Amino acid sequence: MASNNNSGSGHDATALPIHISSLTKKYGDLYALDSVDLEIRSGEFLTLLGPSGSGKTTLLMAIAGFNRPDSGSIRFGEQEVILTPPHQRNVGMVFQSYALFPHMSVAGNIAFPLKLRGVSAGEIEERVTEALETVQLSGLGERGIDQLSGGQRQRVALARAFVFGPRILLMDEPLSALDKKLRERMQIELKILHRKLGVTTVYVTHDQREALTMSDRIAVINHGRLAQVDTPEVIYNHPANAFVADFIGESTMLDLDQDKAGNLTYKGSKISKPPSGGNADGWSLVVRPEHLSIMANGKASTDRTIVFKGTVTETVFQGETAFSIVAIDDDTELLVRFGTGSKAKSTYPQSGEQVSVGLGRDDAILIPREDQP
């Protein structure tokens, strides 16, 4: 077995890039992975994001070796691992269910990979202690698994995954079973831990906020294909297609027409020129609620602002923000989000009020139109 028992610091020594090319996996007639090409950089935190059934977990399981793809290649660094059985891949993994061994203590669980690698008893003890410290569970080594809280189990699973110094760490929705507060705290902790360990980390989630919070890069997956791979900022602000725009963040999609001069218009009013180099049959405008603002009724579009006119259907207070639903025509509604601050509730747009809704031209996101909703 090619093992790597290094643990500790130093990015280059401890991380491996993953090269995935033409990876295909079919279940019956359904493509779980449809010729996926993905380069995961050494030491980066990459999140596979997609709805359930998109293929994100299939891809992760293929990297771990738990399912057998139909074709393609997976390389860890220079080494082709597509044929390597899972126990020889030497990657750490945190499971959604944690998969802690119920018949072993906390220390027993964490020592498990070390024992298999023939590490001496003394060193095992040392490294288990160190790992417990890292996940802030010092002194809980002798506990049984059933005596731990959900968050503690999570940490044990994490410790077990990195204690043997893998150069790749996989995580399959590890935080989904935790309550919201704990989840948000763990997100930060995981990020800090990743920075400390420096291992290449592939993280699966269906929670876009989690993906945006934690990732160096996000690979959005849909129907077994990569919809977009980029940094959270780019994914959010410049979605490459309708799916990404829709899946990440809140948005309303407006189908645009093109006038004789080539300008894109919505219901006759000019929105913008088509993006340069863009080559599509048609374009849609992606409108995010936080990019919109309620303006006094009767404002017109300017060079800086596109203005939609509509009627407020409902206004909802949600704590630090509130939003209004504004119907701009019979079948299109825009969501307008605004900060609440110290604003009195009486100043919020009222149902039935006629308003203008402004969108900064810099915030106008254009994507190629797709027939699919």
Cβ proximity to other proteins, 28 vs 262, nearer residue: 28
CB of 92 to other proteins, least distance (A): 7
341: contact with other proteins by CB under 8 A: no
66: contact with other proteins by CB under 8 A: yes
Q: What would the 3-class secondary structure string for the chain be?
A: CCCCCCCCCCHHHHCCCEEEEEEEEEECCEEEEEEEEEEECCCCEEEEECCCCCCHHHHHHHHHCCCCCCEEEEEECCEECCCCCHHHCCCEEECCCCCCCCCCEHHHHHHHHHHHCCCCHHHHHHHHHHHHHHCCCCCCCCCEHHHCCHHHHHHHHHHHHHCCCCCEEEEECCCCCCCHHHHHHHHHHHHHHHHHHCCEEEEEECCHHHHHHHCCEEEEEECCEEEEEECHHHHHHCCCCHHHHHHCCCCEEEECEECCCCCEEECCEEEECCCCCCCCCCEEEEECHHHEEEECCCCCCCCCEEEEEEEEEEEEECCCEEEEEEEEECCEEEEEEEECCCCCHHHCCCCCCEEEEEEEHHHCEEEECCCCC
Instruction: Single out the segment in contact with other proteins by CB under 8 A; choices: 94-102, 133-141, 197-205, 337-345.
Output: 94-102
> Under 8 Å CB-to-CB from 194, ≥6 apart: which residues?
45, 169, 201
234: contact with other proteins by CB under 8 A: no
90: contact with other proteins by CB under 8 A: yes
83: contact with other proteins by CB under 8 A: no
337: contact with other proteins by CB under 8 A: no
Q: Residue 70: how many CB atoms within 10 A of its CB?
A: 12
Instruction: Single out the segment in contact with other proteins by CB under 8 A; choices: 38-46, 101-109, 213-221, 227-235.
Output: 101-109
Give the span between the Cα atoms of 34 and 225, in whole angstroms: 6
CB of 177 to other proteins, least distance (A): 13
List the x/- string, 1-30, binding to other proteins by CB under 8 A. Answer: x-x---------------------------
Q: Residue 247: how many CB atoms within 10 A of its CB?
A: 22
List the x/- string, 132-161, binding to other proteins by CB under 8 A. Answer: ------------x---------------x-
Among residues 64, 81, 242, 355, the one that binds other proteins under rule CB under 8 A:
64
Instruction: Single out the segment in contact with other proteins by CB under 8 A; choices: 111-119, 128-136, 191-199, 303-311.
Output: 111-119
Amino acid present at 98: Y
Among residues 12, 83, 103, 346, the one that binds other proteins under rule CB under 8 A:
103
Among residues 51, 86, 274, 282, the one that binds other proteins under rule CB under 8 A:
86
Among residues 73, 112, 207, 301, the one that binds other proteins under rule CB under 8 A:
112
Instruction: Single out the segment in contact with other proteins by CB under 8 A; choices: 102-110, 198-206, 277-285, 356-364.
Output: 102-110
Cβ proximity to other proteins, 102 vs 373, nearer residue: 102
65: contact with other proteins by CB under 8 A: yes
223: contact with other proteins by CB under 8 A: no
CB of 153 to other proteins, least distance (A): 13
Among residues 76, 162, 164, 338, the one that binds other proteins under rule CB under 8 A:
164
- Which residues contact other proteins (rule: CB under 8 A)? 1, 3, 64-66, 85-93, 95-97, 99-103, 105, 112-113, 116-117, 144, 160, 164
